[in-house]
Amino acid sequence: MIAAAAGSAVCGALLGGAVDARTGYIPDRITAPAALAALGCSLVGGAGVASLCGALAAGGALLALYALTRGRGLGLGDVKLAAVIGLGFGPVAGIAAVGAAFVLGGAYATWLLASRRARRDDAMRFGPFLAGGALAVALVAAGTAA
């Protein structure tokens, strides 16, 4: 059931990232069901405490960034999506997924700036990178479990 929690988080992240890429918004009607599914699977699998710690770690990290930037760098949808990822993966893998999202987003931003396709003050949606980070961690975990 713990793998189902991670799968729920990845599905929610992929859907949220796709909607964010298209609209610039991650709606609660995506994050809430994904959070409930991930938490439910974690509880059934006996990992409810780890799941909640993951939500606190991953979501809390982005909430701190949201507060520090006064909402200019990240939106609350990104914070909630990170919490979903933490619910599904637990604290260590949840933080790894968020870290991978920052690496992916930073690499893409660097490429955009170097190729002059964007300027420093251009906005970039972070949901797709959160989805990519969650997928990357899930794929690495699946590869090490095999």
Give 72's contacts (C-beta < 8 A, 6+ positions apart). none
Query: If you write DSSP's letter for every residue of 75-107 in order, what string do you get?
Result: -HHHHHHHHHHHHHH-HHHHHHHHHHHHHHHHH
Give 7's contacts (C-beta < 8 A, 6+ positions apart). 41, 88, 138
pTM across the whole model: 0.94
Residues 55-66: tens digit of each pLDDT:
999 999 999 999
Residues 14-55: tens digit of each pLDDT:
999 999 999 999 999 999 999 999 999 999 999 999 999 999
Give 146's contacts (C-beta < 8 A, 6+ positions apart). none
Domain ranges of the chain: 2-145
Q: pLDDT confidence of 121, banded at 50, 70, 90?
A: confident
Radius of gyration of the chain (CA): 15
Report the pLDDT averaged over residues 99-112.
97
- Identify which has the larger pLDDT, 35 or 145: 35
Distances (CA, A) of 57 to 16, 68, 88, 122: 19, 16, 12, 28
User: Which pLDDT score is estimated for 146?
Assistant: 58
